[in-house]
Each structure stands twice: as structure tokens, then as C-alpha cells.
Amino acid sequence: MKILYVFAHPEPRSLNGALRDVALAELQAQGHQVQVSDLYAMGWKAEVDRSDFPAWDADRPLAVVPASKEGYAAQSLTPDVQAEIDKLLWADVLILQFPLWWFAMPAMLKGWVDRVFAYGFAYGVGEHSERRWGDRYGEGRLAGKRAMLVVTVGGWREHYAPRGVNGPIEDLLFPIHHGVLYYPGYEILPPFLAFRSDRFDEAAFAAAADELRGRLRTLQSTPPIPFRPQNSGDYEIPAMQLRAGLERPGASGFGLHLAPPRDGVAPRPPASAATVEA
Ligand code: FAD
């Protein structure tokens, strides 16, 4: 398979850097073709501004959505953004690796998403009308591809459990899984999570490395998180609300957007098939 590995940590000698090296060695051992976007090493420009849209008239107030739309359509986005779009189109699998910072991805990686996920490419795709609200949430330009997060987390797994004080990790990652990656069409694999990452030692690292290798060996066969496709009939149009009666018993909030399995047993999205902690 073709893999795009996006890495967002400022220090190659960090825990993240060491896990990244494990991952790349495993992917290469499996015979995959791999491209790496090491955002800090690339000096990635994280902020969206006027310089991203060279064809936008200098006298015109910058309006980012139409500027992105025009720029993508005219192929006049900047070369760094276009190169990342090309990598995304090339790859069968996208892996994003980052440390959890303030319950979210680092600004560097968010800035990669902001700039690369352009209008007409990652959003604004398909028919938008009273009958249809675009090709998104399971459909879109990146449909048929898979994505997975590799995240190091300072806190304990218990603190991110359903009753944990930090909130469930699957809820915290929902905006990335569902809002950023499922939106343009990716199937989302359960994340690889390394908890208590600031306390890692040799033993914890060895366990994490083993788990990570295992996850990378099963990229093709791991069942994705069962998010509901938008255009499957589960949502009312145009309000795009889940139809009454389709929710799993007791489901609310983000959990509404998980489809029940066919046998009727309520699913619990795996926070990770591999949750490692120090
Ligand atoms: P490093 O600092 O590089 O290393 C961590 C530990 O692993 C060190 O003890 C190091 O000695 C050891 N180590 C490194 N490499 C190896 C190796 N090869 N083998 C064995 N041991 C090794 N956490 C949360 O839970 N929630 C948050 O919201 C959150 N917000 C944060 C916000 C900021 C701005 C920052 C800086 C941290 C935040 N954290 C949070 C903690 C953060 O998630 C962790 O610091 C991060 O995941 C650790 O990854 P790292 O690669 O930076 O680790």
C-alpha cells in the first residue's frame, strides 16, 4: 500500500520521534511505499493568510473559503499545499502522529489541515442543495482510503475513560476523526494511543513499539470506527439530524453518529485496539 505519514513533533529525539522511527521501519518491512511529511522539519507554515492565495486580487478583502475554492479550482494554491494534496491523493492510508496538546492536535498539524484541506478537495465537494448536502461524512475525494491517528497522551488511560475527569478519549478525538478525516471520506481506524507518555521508560517503550507494529501490520484488516455515512438515509434532509428511532439505546452526543452493528448489539468504539501506558 501507499502510506502518507504526517509527523508533528518539534524534536526528532523525542518519544514521538522514536515511535515514528519504529512505525516507519515496520511499514518499510511490510513492503509499503511511504512518504513522510515531517512538518517541523519541513518548516511548514501553519497559519492561513493572504500569501496562500497568490491569484487573489490584492485589493480584494481576503475571504478564505472562496479564495480556497478559486485557488484549488485554478490550481493556483501554493506549491507546498499542492504537494501535500498530491500526497493525499497518492496515499491509500494516511497516518497522523502527534502528542496530545491541550486536548487537541498541535497548532502545526492543525495548520496543515487548515491549509491543505482545501475547498473542492476536502470540503465543498458534491451537490449542495435542499436535496443533498454534499459528498461528505463517508463520501468525498478521499473515500476508499483509510486514516489512523498515532497519539501520545500525558494523562492516564483511566482519566480518559467514559467516566474519567478529562472526558472520554474517543470524544476528544471525535473532531479529528469525524470532523477532519471522515468528512472528506476516509474510513477511520481506531487510534493508537500511548498514555502516561511523560513517564515512559524502556519497558513502556518496548510495549508501545510492539503494539504499534501490530497495528501497522493490520492496517488493511482492522475494522473502522462505524461512523454513519451522511447520505445513507440515516439523516433528515436538509436539517441533517439523525432520524428518530435510529439511535442506539442510551446513545447521545457524539455517540449518536455511530451505527449499530447488524446483529443489533450496541457498539462501543474502541478507544484503541492498542492502548499503551507507562
Ligand atoms: P518526550 O518528552 O520526548 O518523552 C517523554 C518521556 O519518554 C521522557 O521521560 C523520555 O525520557 C521518555 N522517552 C523518550 N524517548 C524514549 C525512548 N526511545 N525510549 C524510552 N523512553 C523514552 N497531556 C494530556 O494528557 N492532555 C493534554 O491536554 C496535554 N496538553 C499538553 C500541552 C502541551 C503544550 C504540552 C507540552 C504537553 C501536553 N500534554 C498533555 C502532555 C503531552 O501529551 C506529552 O508531553 C507528550 O505526549 C509526550 O510526548 P513527547 O514525544 O513530547 O515525549
Average pLDDT for 122-145: 95
Let me know if residue 188 belongs to a domain. Answer: yes
Instruction: Quickly count helices (H) and strands (E) in the chain.
Output: 8, 7
Q: Is 134 in the pocket of ligand 1 (CB under 6 A)?
A: no
pLDDT in tens, 91-113: 999 999 999 999 999 999 999 99
The pLDDT of residue 265: 45
Can you name the residues that pair with 277 across neighbouring β-strands?
195
Let me know if residue 155 belongs to a domain. Answer: yes
Q: Tell me, in angstroms, the distance from the centre of ligand 1 to residue 184's CA.
A: 30
Average pLDDT for 76-99: 98
Let me know if residue 109 belongs to a domain. Answer: yes
Q: Is 201 in the pocket of ligand 1 (CB under 6 A)?
A: yes
Q: Which of 153, 166, 200 is the pocket-test mutation for ligand 1 (most atoms within 8 Å of CB)?
A: 200
List alpha helices for the chain, DSSP H.
Answer: 15-29, 39-42, 64-73, 79-90, 107-116, 169-172, 174, 202-217
Note whether 16 and 99 are within 8 A (CB). Answer: yes
Task: Tell me which residue range forms the domain holding 164.
Answer: 2-223
- Residue 157 CA to residue 191 CA, distance in Å, equals 13
Q: Tell me, in angstroms, the distance from the centre of ligand 1 to residue 231's CA.
A: 40
- Residue 243 CA to residue 73 CA, distance in Å, equals 35
What domain count does the chain have? 1
Confidence class of residue 25 from pLDDT cuts 50, 70 and 90?
A: very high
Let me know if residue 268 belongs to a domain. Answer: no
% of the chain beyond a pLDDT of 70: 94
Nearest to 164 by CA among 153, 177, 151, 175: 153
Q: Which atom of ligand 1 approaches the CA of 16 most closely?
A: 51
**pLDDT exceeds cutoff 50 at 79:** yes
Query: What pTM was estimated for this model as a whole?
Result: 0.95
Q: Is the peptide bond before 238 cis (omega within 30 degrees of 0)?
A: yes
The pLDDT of residue 269: 45
Grid cell 473542492 in the structure block, residue: 120
Q: Is 222 in the pocket of ligand 1 (CB under 6 A)?
A: no
The pLDDT of residue 260: 87
Q: Is 202 in the pocket of ligand 1 (CB under 6 A)?
A: yes
User: Cell for 114?
Assistant: 487548515
Average pLDDT for 209-218: 98
pLDDT top residue among 269 and 182: 182
Note whether 205 and 194 are within 8 A (CB). Answer: no
pLDDT in tens, 38-70: 999 999 999 999 999 999 999 999 999 999 999
Nearest to 48 by CA among 122, 136, 107: 107
Let me know if residue 113 belongs to a domain. Answer: yes
Q: Is 197 in the pocket of ligand 1 (CB under 6 A)?
A: yes
- Residue 241 CA to residue 184 CA, distance in Å, equals 19
Let me know if residue 234 belongs to a domain. Answer: no
The pLDDT of residue 270: 44
Q: Which atom of ligand 1 approaches the CA of 18 most closely?
A: 18
Q: Is 205 in the pocket of ligand 1 (CB under 6 A)?
A: yes
**pLDDT exceeds cutoff 70 at 267:** no
Confidence class of residue 212 from pLDDT cuts 50, 70 and 90?
A: very high
The pLDDT of residue 130: 85
**What does the buried/exposed string (b/e) look like for 226-238 if buried means 16 or more CB atoms within 10 Å of the residue's CB?**
ebbbbbeebbeee
The pLDDT of residue 96: 99
Let me know if residue 179 belongs to a domain. Answer: yes
The pLDDT of residue 274: 45
pLDDT in tens, 228-264: 999 999 999 999 999 999 998 889 999 999 998 765 4
Q: Tell me, in angstroms, the distance from the centre of ligand 1 to residue 8's CA.
A: 13
- Residue 256 CA to residue 236 CA, distance in Å, equals 14
Let me know if residue 6 belongs to a domain. Answer: yes
Q: Tell me, in angstroms, the distance from the centre of ligand 1 to residue 195's CA.
A: 9
pLDDT, the chain, mean = 94
Q: Which atom of ligand 1 approaches the CA of 102 most closely?
A: 28
Question: By three-state DSSP, how is residue 69 classified?
Answer: helix
User: Cell for 25?
Assistant: 521501519
Note whether 70 and 85 are within 8 A (CB). Answer: no
CATH number at residue 103: 3.40.50.360
Confidence class of residue 6 from pLDDT cuts 50, 70 and 90?
A: very high
Q: Which of 195, 198, 276 is the pocket-test mutation for ligand 1 (most atoms within 8 Å of CB)?
A: 198
> Using CA positions, which residue lies closest to atom 13 of ligand 1?
15
